[in-house]
Amino acid sequence: MRDNHNVPRAESTLPESPSGILDPNRLLLNANSDHSGKVPMSEPWDKDISAMKLSDLEKNGLQVYRNYQRAFDSHAEQQLAKEIDAKEFDTSSLTRVVGLLSAEEPRFLPVIACAYADDILKDMFKTEVPEETPGGTSALFGPYGPMSNLFNRLQLAFVFDILSADLVRDVDRVRRARNDLSHTWDIGLLKDFFLKGTAADLYPIDTLLAEQPERLPWLSEPIPPLKAFRVRLIWMVARLTYETRCYPLAKRARLRPQSALYGPNAPKLLSVVSGAALDMSKKVIEAPSS
Reply yes or no on whether the pLDDT at 35 is more than 70: no
Comparison of pLDDT for 18 and 92, the residue scoring more: 92
Burial class (CB in 10 A: 0-12, 13-18, 19+), 101: buried
Closest CA to 223 of 282, 285, 289: 285
Distance between terminal CA atoms of the chain? 46
The pLDDT assigned to 157 comes to 94
Residue 194 main-chain phi, psi, to 5 deg: -85, -5
What would the mean pLDDT of 131-157 be, rounded to a whole number?
84
Q: Which of 151, 162, 174 is nearest to 243 (CA)?
A: 162
pLDDT for 211-229, tens place per residue? Answer: 887 778 777 678 888 898 9
Residue 142 has pLDDT above 70, yes or no: yes
Of 260 and 206, the structure prediction assigns the larger pLDDT to: 260
- Going by C-alpha positions, the residue among 235, 233, 273, 206 that lies closest to residue 108 is 233
pLDDT of residue 198: 74
**Number of Cα atoms under 13 Å in the Cβ half of residue 202:** 29
Q: What is the mean pLDDT of residues 36-40?
A: 45
pLDDT digits (tens, 9 = 90+) for 101-139: 999 988 899 999 999 999 999 999 988 887 778 877 787
- pLDDT tens-digit series, residues 24-34: 777 777 776 65
In this prediction, residue 279 carries a pLDDT of 93
* Torsion over CA: 152, 155, 158, 164 (sign): positive
Most confident of 42-51, 72-81, 184-193: 72-81
CA dist., res. 81 & res. 245, Å (int)? 12
Run of H or E residues at 86:
helix 56-86
Average the pLDDT over 13-42 and give the result: 55
Residue-level pLDDT at 30: 72
| Spatial distance between the Cα atoms of 35 and 208, rounded to a whole number of angstroms | 15
Question: How high is the pLDDT of residue 145?
Answer: 78
Determine which of 11-20, 52-61, 205-214 has the lowest per-residue pLDDT on average. Answer: 11-20
Dihedral sign for Cα atoms in the order 224, 22, 129, 265 = positive
pTM passes above 0.95: no
Parse the chain into domains and list their residue ranges.
45-86, 90-286
Which pLDDT score, from 0 to 100, does residue 16 have?
A: 47
Q: Which helix (H) or strand (E) holds 207?
A: helix 205-210
Three state DSSP letters for 135-196 = CCCHHHHCCCCCCCCHHHHHHHHHHCCCCCHHHHHHHHHHHHHHHHHHCCCCHHHHHHHCCC
pLDDT higher than threshold 80 for residue 6:
no
In whole angstroms, give the CA distance from residue 123 to residue 119: 6
The better pLDDT of the pair 53, 194 is held by 53
The whole-angstrom distance between residue 208's C-alpha and the CA centroid of its chain comes to: 14
The pLDDT of 229-241, averaged and rounded, is 95
